[in-house]
Amino acid sequence: MTRYDLSPLFRSTVGFDRLARMLDEIPDYKDNNLAYPPYNIESVGEDRYRITMAVAGFTQEMLDISFHENMLVVSGKIPQTKEERKFLHHGLSTQKFEQKFQLDDYVKVEDAFLKDGLLTIDLVREIPEEMKPRTIEITQGKPANLLGKAKKIIEGTKGKAA
């Protein structure tokens, strides 16, 4: 993947440091580790999402899920055993992994389940009320004189003692 140098853009902007970090964390798809473990991302309703990862061979104690600054990180590590094993065919992967998911604002992890070798992570988008669209009531008549209202408020406070 081609990387772009955006440093000239960030030299003249303020408050876009999160965007810069997010662009830096975009994975390189030439890396084969991105395919392990296989996973699905699905929409299960309005503002509800589910990530399902195939983690056969991993127990709950071997998995770790963390969430910080809109980054969901799922990792797994199988501890090394001291016993010597002789495989005739070694087809099951026992490698550690780390899978990162960049989440949108207001998307939070609701729950996580491990059953039958599938790790399911439920996500929900909880938009604050002040960020949701709202309907503005339209009234009959002429617009209020906002300048006159402000003048009355200022004049009304003129004679009062502080």
Q: What range does the domain containing 69 cover?
A: 36-131
For residue 15, tell me if it sits in a domain.
Answer: no
Residue at 87 is within a domain: yes
Q: Please check whether residue 24 lies inside any domain of the structure.
A: no
Question: Is position 156 within any domain?
Answer: no
CATH of the domain at 98: 2.60.40.790
**pTM attached to this predicted model:** 0.65
* Structural Rg of the chain based on CA atoms: 27
Residue 6 within a domain: no
End-to-end, the C-alpha distance of the chain in Å comes to 65
Q: How many folded domains does the chain comprise?
A: 1
Torsion angle (degrees, nearest 10) of CA 148, 149, 153, 155: 10
> Is 52 in contact with 113 (CB distance < 8 Å)?
no
Q: Is residue 148 part of a domain?
A: no
Residue 152 CA to its chain's centroid (Å): 48
Position 103 in a domain: yes
What pLDDT, on a 0 to 100 scale, did the predictor assign at position 43?
93
pLDDT in tens, the chain (162 residues): 456 666 776 666 666 666 666 666 666 655 555 678 999 999 998 899 999 999 988 999 999 999 998 889 999 998 887 788 888 998 877 789 999 998 988 899 999 999 999 999 999 998 888 888 888 888 888 777 766 655 555 665 555 555
pLDDT for res 25: 64
Neighbour count for residue 53 (Cβ, 10 Å): 22
Whether residue 139 lies inside any domain: the answer is: no
Q: In what order do the strands lie in the sheet with 39-45?
A: 39-45, 48-54, 118-125, 107-115
